[in-house]
Amino acid sequence: MTDSKRKLQLLDFEKPLAELESRIEQIRTLAENNDVDVSEQIQQLEARATQLRQEIFSSLTPMQELQLARHPRRPSTLDYIQAITDEWIELHGDRQGTDDPAVVGGVGKLAGQPVLIVGHQKGRDTKDNVARNFGMASPGGYRKALRLMDHANRFNLPILTFIDTPAAWAGLEAEQYGQGEAIARNLREMFQFDVPIICTVIGEGGSGGALGIGVGDRLAMFEHSIYSVAPPEACAAILWRDAQKGPKAADALKITAKDLLSLGLMDQILPEPMGGAHSNPIEAAQTLKQSLLSTLDELWRLSGQERRDLRYDKFRRMGIFTQIAA
């Protein structure tokens, strides 16, 4: 990627760090060209860059977390599949006439173990995003996902889902072709599968679009991913009729991994490389792989009935609250 393209993809809070790193590189280049020793100065600047990076990424607001979750260079489902699997064969179609590119899935081997992987797929640039419908799945996408998961259940393959969507496609055709029914059926069927199901939010988990492949024995989130009942901008437009109040909605919705873990809705937070998953995709992929292997080892020790019972209890506990009388 060229420097100009990389600058265009910088988030506002990343710019001070990028400017400092650019200065370090310029000083290093000038020193090499003029045969000058500035190692001590460079070392001081690099220490400052490390400190600044820690300061920035340890105190992000919920809206900044959302920006990171939507970062155009953030690893996608296919990126992770390529990085963590030994073999991979993508499977297509819902067997009802459609093959939604916003949902990808297939069979592969994870450390030699056969698995079924299905996930949302966003594009890398505008053209690709349009082709992938920005990761917003149609009814056919959820039917494809269910067909693949049913295949996995029949052949005793664990199911791994990667969630990364702002929401399900909300177009008129989606409603005509049964968007609500398709997602509801997925929810019902995923509760009944015998095999282990591990769901991981790798970027943006929004609304029913995320839930359509989000019923599992374990739900993990990358550190800078988000999981929400609705995108903050949509929530703000509904509540205040002003999408510009998205940051206020993001604070109230409790969309971050830390918030969701504290509320008991999330089972595990996967740490990201300093600077976000896009700063070191290989490291992020290794973290994901180790987490999946460890969790699979744990889940395989349970019977199918035990997994179903735990899965049911897990979701029944969500939303429970205590009302204290005045």
Phi, psi at 144, each rounded to 5°: -65, -45
Q: Can you give the pLDDT at residue 40?
A: 74
pLDDT at 4: 46
β-strands 103-110, 113-120 pairing: antiparallel
Could you tell me the two tokens for 23?
């200065």
Q: What are phi and psi of 51, to 5 degrees?
A: -65, -45
Q: Across residues 177-184, what is the average pLDDT?
A: 93
Which tokens is 199 given?
């769901």
List pLDDT tens digits, range 300-317: 999 999 999 999 999 988
Question: How, if at all, do strands 87-90 and 218-222 pair?
Answer: unpaired
pLDDT of residue 83: 96
Tell whether the model's pLDDT for residue 55 goes beyond 60: yes
Contact present, 198 and 295 (Cβ < 8 Å): yes
Is 133 in contact with 172 (CB distance < 8 Å)?
no
78, amino acid identity: L
Q: Smallest Cα–Cα separation from 208: which of 165, 246, 243?
A: 165
Q: What is the pLDDT of residue 2?
A: 47
pLDDT at 36 over 60: yes
DSSP state letter for 267: S
257 pLDDT band, cuts 50/70/90, is: very high
Over residues 180-204, the mean pLDDT reads 96
Q: What pLDDT does 131 receive?
A: 93
Residue 271: how many other CB atoms lie within 10 Å: 14
Q: What is the pLDDT of residue 158?
A: 97
β-pairing verdict for 226-228 and 268-270 = unpaired
CA separation for the pair 21, 46 (Å, rounded)? 8
Q: What is the pLDDT of residue 117?
A: 97
The domain locations on the chain are 3-59, 66-316
Average pLDDT over all residues of the chain: 89
State whether residue 26 is helix, strand or coil. helix
Determine phi and psi for 88, rounding to 5 degrees.
-155, 130
Query: In the chain, how long is the greatest CA-to-CA distance?
Result: 76
Angle CA(248)–CA(249)–CA(250) in degrees, nearest 5? 90
The pLDDT tens digits for 195-225 are: 999 999 999 998 889 999 999 999 999 999 9
Write phi, then psi, for 202 (nearest 5 degrees). Answer: -95, -15
Radius of gyration of the chain (CA): 21
In single-letter form, the type of residue at position 51 comes to Q
Q: What does the pLDDT look like over 57-100, one tens digit per residue?
A: 877 889 989 988 999 899 999 999 999 999 999 999 999 889 99
Over residues 42-52, the mean pLDDT reads 76
Per-residue pLDDT band at 9 (split at 50, 70, 90): low
pLDDT of 326 > 70? The answer is no
Predicted model pTM: 0.87
Given CATH 3.90.226.10, say whether it is the number of domain 66-316: yes
Residue 91: alpha-carbon gap to chain centroid: 21
Tokens of 97: 């006439």
Distance CA 122, CA 141 (A): 13
Tens digits of per-residue pLDDT, 95-130? 988 999 999 999 999 999 999 999 999 998 889 999
Distance CA 15, CA 18 (A): 5
